Structure 1
Amino acid sequence: MISGFSRSCAARLLAGAALITTAACGAGSANTAAEGGKPEVVAAFYPLQWLTEQVGGSDVQVTSLTAPGVEPHDLELGIQQVTAIRNAALTVYVKGVQPAVDDAVEPDTSFDAATAVKTIPAGEPAGEPAGEHAEEHAEEGAGEHAEEGAEEHGHEVAYDPHLWLDPSRLATVATKLGERLAAADAPHAKAYQDRAARTAAALGALDQELAKGLGTCETRTLVTAHEAFGYLADRYKLKQVGITLDPETEPSPTRISEVAKLAKSEGVTTIFTETLVSPKVAEVLASQVGAKTAVLDPLESKPSGDYLSAMRDNLKTLQTALGCTA
């Protein structure tokens, strides 16, 4: 893990940074790179890469720190990646997902997507609706359970960072990202704002599809490999029950037994696995419950299509598993 990485204004200039921000150098508005080069924007992992490409369009050069098929939570930064962050006009990330990135970015040239939306506590207790629990802890300052969950998950935050699984929240992030890019690159400000508006509209349409498609279901309990779907559950009034809090944690036999009991009592017919996590534990649980398994993509890595198509695939999977009728 890279920690405490400092960058002076002179270092940015020598490295050929795409933009020079007011806060970083005490100068005027940001300027594009020399010789008409595009501003370089670094995205921490896939959903943010997709969003940045949509909003930035042809006016920026977007690169991702996390290669396809790599678990974002496990990312360790190499020299090349640290250099990319150092030289970037902007790094788009979510604090709490990747500690190495949290340590490497600097406020003047980074955008934490979690600052743009209302977050929910990490580690929702099994059997409790995400929305209700989120409201309770919002009043209590996130609460003891959220703090414990954050510590167990290896995060330095008391909230669930998987905010991209709620399209309505991601639409808000798109708008804020457009504002950030417009302020940094004034000549292309309107283009950023227009693309941000179109992206937010597309995400709003997806949100409506999910709300309609998950409106009436035989069961609303979502048993997942780990607790990555809190925002989806919160938005669409589902109840997330994670076998583990994070993909690196091996569940105890007691935990598996608890989840199996709850799944049986609530008529769960499907245990959800993930694209980057071994399905073995979920398969063991499914055998105990008499259920089947299905893949629900947390979109932590690039899918076969894009963010929108993958979320629509998730909707179809959920409708089948939960017995939903649109």
Structure 2
Amino acid sequence: MNVRRLIPTAALAASVALGATALTACSGASAAGGGGKDGKLDVMASFYPMQFLAEQIGKDHVKVSTLTKPGVEPHDLEITPKQTGQLGEADVVLYLKTLQPAVDKAVAQSGVKNVVDAGALTKLEVHDASGHDHAHEGEGEAGHDHGHGEAGEDPHVWLDPTKYAEVAKGVGAALEKADPGHAADYRKNTDELVGKLAALDTEFKDGLHDTTSKTFITTHSAFGYLAERYGLDQEGISGVDPESEPSPARMKELQALAKQENVSTVFFETLASDKTAKSLATDTGLKTDVLDPLEGISNKSQGADYFEVMRSNLKNLQKALGAK
């Protein structure tokens, strides 16, 4: 009798132990796929354009934090040891290599496994201060040898809706890999976002197709991709770094160019100083207006998110270029 009773008891104990082991394994898998205690994937974005992609594609399945707080100029960002530690705890890190050297260094030190470099998800090009594309010079020779992160490559890909869509697809794929349980949702959200970006691209093409002038002057040479996409010429007062000071020769050159190309407006941005733009405008009798490189959203931004600010940029460009 005792033996007969012991057999099912032992079997039951083994079954309970096996179930507990399976439950632990499932919990571990869930934590690995779903991130923190709330079951959400913990995503750390380096600055606003990466944050926006994570929020739009991840929606309710992700918890998104950003290293660059609203109102902070991303190029100037310094990373605290605490933020480096937070990077190491993230499930996924989204950043754009070479845009923020402090972030590049912190990511390398963090040891986080799922790192997504947005610049590797599309083709980067080299633009000079005037926004001209040098990516294809010497085609078939050195022109195709630009490695990612090479000095001079323009990182501002998000200002071209088509390139931003390419980055969005890569981010979506990365979230699917990190959290396969919600892969279908990430795919659906990515497709929706890519569709919205295609519509925005059409708005820019139609809105800038017929203009009196094709040249615009801006403090920050961030619009090389946008200019190339829509057949415009960007003339930057400073280079890709918005804080670099233009030479007197460059200012004189821009004054002559403004007259020659029928330029009506000098553009400045919300997160950097407008001093040089206003100085040039005063010297040449031009107006000033905002062209936002969308490196961050603040209470000064002409819109609450990427799409609103991009449409404000389009409106301001149409006005300045004499769109018909």
TM range, normalised to the smaller chain?
0.7 to 0.9
Query: Kindly tell me: are residues 253 and 96 of structure 1, through their superposed partners in 2, closer, same or farther at Cα, counting changes over 3 Å?
Result: same
**Equivalent position of 1:14 in the other structure:** none
Q: Which amino acid aligns with 2:256?
A: K
Matched, 1:312 2:307: no
Query: How do residues 22-171 of structure 1 correspond to structure 2 at under 5 angstroms?
Result: 30-33=32-35, 35-106=37-108, 108-122=113-127, 124-126=128-130, 130-131=132-133, 133-136=134-137, 141=142, 157-171=151-165
Query: Kindly tell me: are residues 70 and 139 of structure 1, through their superposed partners in 2, closer, same or farther at Cα, counting changes over 3 Å?
Result: farther
Among 200, 204, 224, the residue aligned to 1:206? 200
Query: Kindly tell me: are residues 137 and 62 of structure 1, through their superposed partners in 2, closer, same or farther at Cα, counting changes over 3 Å?
Result: farther
The superposition leaves residues 99-139 of structure 1 with CA deviations (integer Å, 9 ceiling, x where unpaired) of 011112257321011111111104x253xx635x4432665
Structure number, greater radius of gyration: 2
| SS of equivalent to 1:277 | coil
Query: Kindly tell me: are residues 125 and 275 of structure 1, through their superposed partners in 2, closer, same or farther at Cα, counting changes over 3 Å?
Result: closer
Among 227, 232, 237, the residue aligned to 1:233? 227
In the alignment, the residues of structure 2 paired with residue 83 and residue 176 of structure 1 have an alpha-carbon distance, to the nearest angstrom, of: 25
The superposition leaves residues 183-220 of structure 1 with CA deviations (integer Å, 9 ceiling, x where unpaired) of 11111011111101101111111111011101111111
| SS of equivalent to 2:267 | strand
Query: Kindly tell me: are residues 138 and 188 of structure 1, through their superposed partners in 2, closer, same or farther at Cα, counting changes over 3 Å?
Result: farther
Query: How do residues 253-292 of structure 1 correspond to structure 2 at under 5 angstroms?
Result: 253-292=248-287
Q: What TM-score comes out, normalization by structure 2 length?
A: 0.83
| SS of equivalent to 2:235 | strand
| SS of equivalent to 2:153 | coil
Query: Kindly tell me: are residues 34 and 78 of structure 1, through their superposed partners in 2, closer, same or farther at Cα, counting changes over 3 Å?
Result: closer
The superposition leaves residues 33-81 of structure 1 with CA deviations (integer Å, 9 ceiling, x where unpaired) of 3655211101111111111100011101001110110000000001221
Q: Which amino acid aligns with 2:183?
A: A
Q: Which amino acid aligns with 1:44?
A: S
In the alignment, the residues of structure 2 paired with residue 310 and residue 269 of structure 1 have an alpha-carbon distance, to the nearest angstrom, of: 21
Query: Kindly tell me: are residues 36 and 272 of structure 1, through their superposed partners in 2, closer, same or farther at Cα, counting changes over 3 Å?
Result: closer
- Whether the aligned pair in 2 keeps the contact of 1:142 and 1:158 (CA below 8 Å) is no
Give, in angstroms, the shift of residue 262 of structure 1.
1.3
CA RMSD of aligned residues (A): 2.6
Query: Kindly tell me: are residues 69 and 225 of structure 1, through their superposed partners in 2, closer, same or farther at Cα, counting changes over 3 Å?
Result: same
In the alignment, the residues of structure 2 paired with residue 100 and residue 217 of structure 1 have an alpha-carbon distance, to the nearest angstrom, of: 40
In the alignment, the residues of structure 2 paired with residue 202 and residue 232 of structure 1 have an alpha-carbon distance, to the nearest angstrom, of: 17
In the alignment, the residues of structure 1 paired with residue 48 and residue 82 of structure 2 have an alpha-carbon distance, to the nearest angstrom, of: 18
Give every structure 1 segment of 4 or more consecutive aligned residues whose post-TM-superposition deviation is greater than 4 Å. Answer: 137-140
Q: Across the two proteins, how many residue pairs are aligned to each other?
A: 290
Q: Which amino acid aligns with 1:46?
A: Y
- Whether the aligned pair in 2 keeps the contact of 1:54 and 1:195 (CA below 8 Å) is yes
- Whether the aligned pair in 1 keeps the contact of 2:136 and 2:144 (CA below 8 Å) is no
**Equivalent position of 2:7 in the other structure:** none
Give, in angstroms, the shift of residue 158 of structure 1.
3.4
- Whether the aligned pair in 2 keeps the contact of 1:42 and 1:92 (CA below 8 Å) is yes
| SS of equivalent to 1:91 | strand
- Whether the aligned pair in 1 keeps the contact of 2:129 and 2:237 (CA below 8 Å) is no
